[in-house]
Amino acid sequence: MPVARARLLIACPDGRGIIAAVAGFIAEHHGNVLDADQHTQPEHGHFFMRVEIELAGFDLTRETFDAAWAPLAKSQRMQWHMNWGTRKKRMAILVSRESHCLHDLLWRWKTGELDVDIPFVASNHPDWQADVAALGIAFHHLPVSPETKPQQEAELSRLIHAEDVDFVVLARYMQILSPSFVERYPQRIINIHHSILPAFAGRRPYHQAFARGVKIIGATSHFATDVLDDGPIIAQATLEVGHRDTVEDMIRKGRDLERVVLARAVRLHAQDKILVSGHKTVVFE
């Protein structure tokens, strides 16, 4: 049986004794540190920490933790988040016509590999309605045109709010979300881009890669920001190609990378293992 565990995430200015103070606080309250990771970003003096706490024996609860923790958090000017592990993160998926990432995520979810709930899948095309519904997940067909984009995004926001969605995955969603939409969900939208960013941002990256004659292609999962394909990178992977590979070969081979790289980002985010620092991520694997 898995142990009940909470996850405490901390970001603060670097300083002496922070690890001792945090570990001491947990020990003092009879928690057990199951896993701890920390990182100091030397260029900015930022300190990041992730702690998994065994809850059996821990004498603080959701009700009493904040008050007990506040003095330490304040003295170190911490931004922090405590995930009590009592509720799975709720992930919505946006998709267009290419379904390999969607199907892969659904398969991983179904087999228990991804520790999330999926309140809905939305798409600007109706193609995957049946596949999604067959798994008992709501499917929303939200067609979009330049004219209806504001309304479509409003409807999306409504769904996200109504379904208490924690984060949104763009599983090869081929529409560019408006900056105002993206800004509403900082570090809550995960995209997969089919190139080794920053190379070949924008449209048709495999076509760009083919034209340039590269010998390596790749995929990048990242948080979406208001600048297209420019958000903090979570994971990347690559594979070799050669002069015999057509654009179609690249697209086919790339699908296998995209699936894995997106799933890795989703898994990490579901486990609170990604912290964002400016334009970069700290990934505690």
Active site amino acids: 229
Could you tell me if 122 and 156 are in contact, meaning their C-beta atoms sit under 8 angstroms apart? yes
What are the CA-CA distances from residue 206 to residues 50, 85, 129, 177 (Å)? 37, 40, 28, 21
Q: Which of 107, 142, 149, 175 binds a copy of itself (CB under 8 A)?
A: 107
Long-range contacts made by residues 153-158, C-beta under 8 angstroms, separation at least 24?
153/177, 153/178, 153/181, 156/94, 156/122, 156/181, 157/181, 157/184
What are the CA-CA distances from residue 267 to residues 223, 235, 243 (Å)? 14, 11, 34
204 binds a copy of itself (CB under 8 A): no
Q: Which of 105, 216, 229, 268 binds a copy of itself (CB under 8 A)?
A: 216
Site string for a copy of itself, 131-150 (x = CB under 8 A): ---x----------------
214 binds a copy of itself (CB under 8 A): yes
Q: Of 4-12, 140-148, 149-157, 194-202, which segment contacts a copy of itself by CB under 8 A?
A: 194-202
How many residues bind a copy of itself (CB under 8 A)? The answer is 64
Considering only residues 219 to 258 of the shown chain, the ones binding a copy of itself according to CB under 8 A are 232-238, 240, 242-244, 246, 252, 256
Q: How far is the CB of 140 from a copy of itself (least distance, A)?
A: 23
270 binds a copy of itself (CB under 8 A): no
Q: Map residue 251 onto helix, strand or coil.
A: helix
Long-range contacts made by residues 212-217, C-beta under 8 angstroms, separation at least 24?
213/243, 214/241, 215/240, 215/241, 215/242, 216/240, 216/241, 217/241, 217/250, 217/253, 217/254, 217/257
Q: Of 16-24, 77-85, 142-150, 182-190, which segment contacts a copy of itself by CB under 8 A?
A: 16-24
Report the residue number, 39 or 149, with the smaller CB distance to a copy of itself.
39
Helical ranges in the chain per DSSP H: 18-28, 65-75, 100-110, 129-133, 149-162, 179-183, 205-212, 247-270
Q: Which two tokens stand for residue 216?
A: 């390596």
Q: Which of 68, 142, 199, 270 binds a copy of itself (CB under 8 A)?
A: 199
Q: Of 11-19, 84-92, 117-125, 176-184, which segment contacts a copy of itself by CB under 8 A?
A: 11-19
Interface contacts to a copy of itself, rule CB under 8 A: 16-17, 19-21, 23-24, 26-28, 30, 32-36, 38-42, 57, 99-100, 103, 107, 111, 113, 134, 196-200, 211-216, 218, 232-238, 240, 242-244, 246, 252, 256, 259-260, 263, 279-283, 285
